[in-house]
Amino acid sequence: MKNLLFSIVILLNFQPDSFSQLSIPKALEPVPTVNQMRWQAMEYYAFIHFSINTYTDMAWGYGNEDPKLFNPVQLDCRQWVRICKEAGMKGVIFTAKHHSGFCLWPSQFTDYSIKNIPWRNGKADIIREMADACKEYSLKFGVYLSPWDRNHPDYGKPEYITYFRNQLKELLTNYGDIFEIWFDGANGGSGYYGGANETRKIDRTTYYDWPNTYKLVRELQPNIVIWNDGGDRADLRWVGTEAGFVGETNWSLLKAKGILSDDMLRNGMENGDAWVPGEVNTSIRPEWFYHKKEDQKVKTLPQLMDTYYNSVGRNGTLLLNFPTMPNGLINKLDEMAALDFAKERNLAFKNNVAINANAHASPVRANDSQFAAKNVIDSDSKTYWATNDNEKTGSIILEFTSPQTFNRVLIQEYISLGQRVKSFSIEAFVNNSWKEIDRQTTIGYKRILRFPTLTTSKFRLNILDSKSCPLISNIELFNAPIILYPPSIIRNQNGDIIISSADVEPVIYYTLDGNIPTFKSSKYSTPVSTGLGKPMVKAIALNPLNGKSSLVQSESFDISRKNWRIVHSTAGEAIKVLDGNERSSWHNNANKMPAEIEIDMGKTESLKGFKYLPDQNWWADGCIITHFEFYISNDQKNWKFMSSGEFSNIKNSPFWQTKTFNLIKARYIKFIALKNVGETSAPGYAEIDVITD
C-alpha cells in the first residue's frame, strides 16, 4: 500500500521526462498520502459549533434538553460560509452532532433531531444547507460527528456502534464530497442516557472498533482525511491543547501503535513510523459554543496572528472555530476579528523579496539542473533543492542585487518524499560577516520565523542536521508590518514587572511613577524589580523604524506578595493564586464546602479590602466562587470577620471581584468559599490579592 501511495505522489509531482533522471532522491518513509497532502495545502479552515446547548448556555449538552428549544429564526448558512471565504479559509467543518446527541439533519435513526421541532415545521436540514453554501462559495465541506451520545439509550453497548455507523453512512453519502471527518475524544461518564441517569464507561481504544469504522469512512469518501485523538491512529492528530499552538519542534510522524504522551502530541515523533500531522484546533472565543458573556473575549488581532505563526507557521494547520448565536448567525464581533486577521495576513505576506534573488547552494546534487538552488525561489512547489543522498547538511545563499529589508522567513520542505530536517539556522550578512538570526529544529510543510527587521544583501539557510538528504522546495522573505498594540503588564510574586508585546519587533518603554512613557523613558528588556512597593506602571510599544507608538497601557499594583505564603494545611498547589499569572489556577479539591485558604502576608499590613479573580478557564466555569466570607488575624488564632456576601453576576462576568471594608491592620487573611456556580466541592481560583491603605 505504501509503495502504491508513493507512486501516486510521484505521478502527481513530476513531469514524464523526470523519469529519465536517475538521481531522484529516495522517499524517506513514512510519507503523506495524496489526501494528507491535499489537506495540508489547505492550511487554514473553519470549525462552526452549533447545537441544542447553544440555547441552554452550556459547554456540553446533557442529552435530555427539549429539542423544541432549538429555534434559529435567522439561520443563514450562506452568512457563515461567506465570512469563512472572506477570511481566507479553504473549508468548513460543521458540528452535525455534538455530545448531546441532537442531530442537525433529519436522521432516520433517531427522533432526537431537527425533524421533530417546530422550527421550519421539522423540514430543515442544516447539513444540506451547509454543503450547498460551501459549494456556492467554492469551499471544502467537512463534518463533526461526536462518537459520544448522551441521548442514545444504547450508548456503551455493542448495539450503539451500529447506530453510530448508520449515522456516518447518512452524512458521508447524502451531502457530496467531505474533505474531513472529525471524531471528538470525549467519551462516557455520569449523566442522562436515553432516559437512564447513570454512569457509563467505555474503552475508547476498542469500543468504536476504529479500524473497521475508518474502513467504512474511506469506502464512502475516498478523498477524506480522518481526525481522531484516541484509539488507532487516524490521518490527523490532536496537538494536545486547544490554546492555538503546536510545538516548535513538530514532526508529522507518530508510532502507529502505543500510548501517546502530551509531548508526542505536541511535537510528533522523529522516529515515528506513521504519517500523522498535527491540526491546531482553537476557537475565536474562549469556548466552542456561543455565550453572550464572551462577547468581550473575542481573540484580538495580535492573538490571532500569534496563533497563525504557532500553527501554520510550525508545520500544522489552523482550524479556527466560530460559535453560532442562538439566532443562527455568526456574531459581528467574530466576523470583524476574522476579517481583520485576513487583512493583516495578506499585508504580512504580500511582497516576497526573495523572488528576484540569485540562489546558490553547497553542496549540490550531481544532477544540478534538476535539483539546483534556484528551485527554492521559483514559486513551484513541485521543484526543490537537494544534496547528494549521503549528505545531510548544506547551505543555500540568496544574494540580492540591492539590499533587502525583511523580518519574516518562510521555509518549506518537499514533504512528498518525507520530512527530513532535524535542525537548521538562518543568517544575514551584516557588516561584512554572517550573523545568526535564529536556530530551530524542524521545518516540515511550512515553517515561518519572526525576528526584528533587518536589511541585508545576502541571506543564508543552513541545514545543520537531517535524517536524510535535505529537500528544500521554497524560501520566501517578507517585511511584515509591525503590530503596535498596547503591551501587556503583569507583576509576579517576587514583585517583578513583566511587560510583553504582541510582536517580536517593537521596543517597549515604561515608567513606574505614573508618567506617560516616551522614547526617552526606560527601555524594557528584562523583568523589572519593584521591591515591595505599589507601582503604577505605564508602557508603550514603539516601532523603531518610524517612531510610531501604541496607545499607553496602564496597570496599578498593590503591595508585593513576595513574602506571602500559603499556610492552610490542605492548600496543595494553592501558591498559584499568588503567582501574578492570571492564566494559572488552583482548585481546592478538599471535597468539602465551605473551603478555605489562609495566607500569611509576612508582616502586618493596613488593609481596606480584598480581590478575587476566578479561574479564567471556561471549563472551570462551575468552580467560580459565588458566595464567600473573609476574615483577618494577627496571630492566626483569633480571627475577625470582615466581609461576606455574593459576587454579583460573576458567572456572566468572571473578572476581578473587589470587596472593601473599614481600614484594619492584619498579618493573616482567610478567604472562605461557601458556594460556587456548579454547587460542587472544588472552588477555583486564579488570583487572590488585598487592597491596602
More confident residue, 207 or 588: 207
Residue 229 has pLDDT above 50, yes or no: yes
Mean pLDDT value across residues 584-603: 88
| DSSP label of 515 | P
Q: What are phi and psi of 394, to 5 degrees?
A: 165, 175
Residue 15 pLDDT greater than 90, yes or no: no
Q: Which residues pair with 398 in a beta bridge?
A: 359, 459
Task: Please count the other Cβ atoms lying within 10 Å of the Cβ belonging to residue 88.
Answer: 16
Q: Rg of the chain's alpha carbons, rounded to an integer?
A: 28
* Strand, helix or coil for residue 455: strand
pLDDT digits (tens, 9 = 90+) for 61-101: 889 999 999 999 999 999 999 999 999 999 999 999 999 99
d(CA 73, CA 56): 16
Categorize the per-residue pLDDT at 650 as very low, low, confident or very high, splitting at 50, 70 and 90. Answer: confident
Give the pLDDT score at 9: 43
In a 13 Å sphere around the CA of 232, the CA atoms on its Cβ side amount to: 11
Question: How confident is the model at residue 330, as a pLDDT?
Answer: 98
Distances (CA, A) of 172 to 26, 160, 295: 36, 18, 35
Residue 93 near residue 134 (C-beta atoms within 8 A) = no
State residue 531's pLDDT score.
83
Residue 206 CA to residue 101 CA, distance in Å, equals 21
- What percent of the chain clears pLDDT 70, i.e. is strictly above it? 95
Mean pLDDT of 428-440: 97
- Asked whether 184 and 148 are in contact (CB, 8 A), the reply is yes
Closest CA to 173 of 232, 123, 220, 111: 220
Structure confidence at residue 3 as a pLDDT band (50, 70, 90): very low
| Angular region, 137: left φ>0, alpha ψ -120 to 50, beta rest | alpha
Question: Residue 617: what pLDDT?
Answer: 73
- The model's confidence at residue 230, banded by pLDDT at 50, 70 and 90, is low
φ, ψ for residue 67 (rounded to 5)?
A: -60, -20
> 406 pLDDT exceeds 80?
yes
Instruction: Give the residue-averaged pLDDT of 268-280.
Output: 97
Confidence of residue 7 (pLDDT cuts 50, 70, 90): very low
- Over residues 194-221, the mean pLDDT reads 90
- Residue 146 CB contacts under 8 Å (≥ 6 apart), including other chains: 95, 97, 98, 99, 101, 183, 184, 186
Question: What cell does 442 get?
Answer: 524542524
Q: Closest by alpha carbon to 448, among 305, 341, 309?
A: 309
Say if residue 253's pLDDT is above 80: yes
Q: How far apart are CA 86 and CA 540, in angstroms?
A: 32
Strands 565-566 and 657-676: unpaired
Taking all residues of the chain, what is their mean pLDDT, rounded to a whole number? Answer: 91
- Cβ atoms of 213 and 168 within 8 Å: the answer is yes
Query: How far apart are alpha carbons 235 and 216 in whole angstroms?
Result: 14
CB 598 within 8 A of CB 630: no
pLDDT tens readout for residues 507-551: 999 999 989 999 999 999 999 998 878 999 999 999 888 888 998
DSSP 113-141: BGGGSSGGGG---HHHHHHHHHHHTT-EE
Indicate whether 378 pLDDT > 60: yes
How many residues comprise the chain? 693
Rounded percentage of the chain residues whose pLDDT exceeds 90: 76
pLDDT digit string (tens) for 147-190? 999 999 999 999 999 999 999 999 999 999 999 999 988 787 77
Coil vs helix vs strand at 286: coil
In a 13 Å sphere around the CA of 500, the CA atoms on its Cβ side amount to 7
Confidence of residue 652 (pLDDT cuts 50, 70, 90): low
List CB contacts of 157: < 8 A, sequence separation 6 or more. none
Q: Of the candidates 229, 220, 85, 68, which has an alpha carbon nearest to the alpha carbon of residue 148?
A: 229
